[in-house]
Amino acid sequence: MVRQQDQQQEVTLQRTARAHRILDAATLLILRWGYDKTNIEDIAKQAGVGKGTIYLHWKTREDLFKMLIKREQLELAKDLRQGISDDPAGATLYGIYKHYTRALIKHPLLKAFLLRDSTVLGKFARGEHSNPAFAARITGFKMYLEFLREYGLVRTDLSVNQQVYMLSAVVMGFYFVEPMMPDEFTPPAEEMSDLIADSVQRTLGANRGTSAQELQRIHLTFMSYLNQAVIAAETQLQQELEN
């Protein structure tokens, strides 16, 4: 019985490792050629598996890509957690968006997804605003703001929905204007992260100081929330990759 369980566990581990290898291959090819030009045969060849093997994991190319985005979002959340964990002021409005935008630098596919970059995403970029993934990101923005409002770190003279709109406009505006600007006006990626965070803070931040004791309490509370969110997302992804 124990041996049978060990064998089953080994099969599950091999299946999960193979799924990650396929997703790695898909990421590489989509960033190189774009979603529309990347087919299952190419992904299978890059991953070193048969075409039929990919269909053991996902029924369609679209299903594979959705899983890829879920994995990217989880990895970004882990990077965000690490950045905030190492920064005593990381859970402030400024800190959250500084570390979020710096984490995004490491995930170009997720940045393309965020910006609906049709060069990378092709037809997958169209119609995305109405789907559950987009709604989930908006809900995430709202939860961050509600948390910060509770601790007096965000203005309360505007509704949360108004602030979500303003926050989205500020952050997305930086990325949309980037390709239009001459090189001499375009800051390096990390400097842009600081500029985004500063703009968000100036737009929505509460006009009051925060003591070191308050910052520590906010930091611990936010890290607890972020840890729970990462663990839940990691568990869900693992279960989906195993099935």
pLDDT (tens digit per residue) in 79-89: 999 999 999 99
| pLDDT value of residue 143 | 83
Share of the chain above pLDDT 70, in %: 92
Residue 46 and residue 17 in one domain: yes
Q: Are 88 and 215 in contact (CB under 8 A)?
A: yes
Residue 35 and residue 120 in one domain: no
| pLDDT value of residue 151 | 85
Model confidence at 118: pLDDT above 90: no
| Confidence tier at 140 by pLDDT (50, 70, 90) | confident
Q: Which conformational region is residue 127 in: left (phi greater than 0), alpha (psi within -120 to 50 degrees), or beta? A: left
What are the tokens at 61? 């190319």
Which residues share a beta bridge with 205?
A: 154
Residue 5 and residue 74 in one domain: no
Tell me how far apart the alpha carbons of residues 226 and 62 are, in angstroms, rounded to a whole number.
29
Domain end (from 57, 77, 95):
57
Residue 88 and residue 191 in one domain: yes
Residue 145 and residue 53 in one domain: no
Digit-coded pLDDT (tens) for 4-56:
666 677 778 888 999 999 999 999 999 999 999 999 999 999 999 999 999 99
Digit-coded pLDDT (tens) for 159-200:
999 999 998 899 999 999 998 999 999 999 999 999 999 999
Q: Say what the alpha-carbon torsion angle 76, 81, 86, 92 is, to the nearest 10 degrees.
A: 100
Q: Say if residue 94 is exposed, middle or buried (CB neighbours under 10 Å; 0-12, 13-18, 19+).
A: buried
Residue 86 and residue 49 in one domain: no
Q: What is the arithmetic mean of pLDDT over 75-102?
A: 93
End-to-end CA distance of the chain: 22
Taking alpha carbons only, the member of 21, 99, 31, 88 closest to residue 53 is 21
Residue 71 and residue 148 in one domain: yes
Tell me how far apart the alpha carbons of residues 228 and 60 are, in angstroms, rounded to a whole number.
31
Backbone angles phi, psi at 205, to 5 degrees: -65, 145
DSSP letter at 37? T
Residue 158 and residue 228 in one domain: yes
Residue 234 and residue 188 in one domain: yes
What are the tokens at 74? 């989880």
Residue 100 and residue 2 in one domain: no
DSSP letter at 154? B
> Which ranges of the chain would DSSP assign to H, the alpha helix?
2-33, 40-47, 51-57, 61-85, 93-105, 108-115, 118-121, 132-150, 160-177, 189-204, 212-242
Residue 25 and residue 83 in one domain: no
Domain hosting 9: range is: 1-57
Calculate the average pLDDT of the chain: 88
* CATH number of the CATH domain containing 1: 1.10.10.60
| pLDDT value of residue 185 | 93
Q: Which residue has the higher pLDDT, 51 or 139?
A: 51
* CATH number of the CATH domain containing 138: 1.10.357
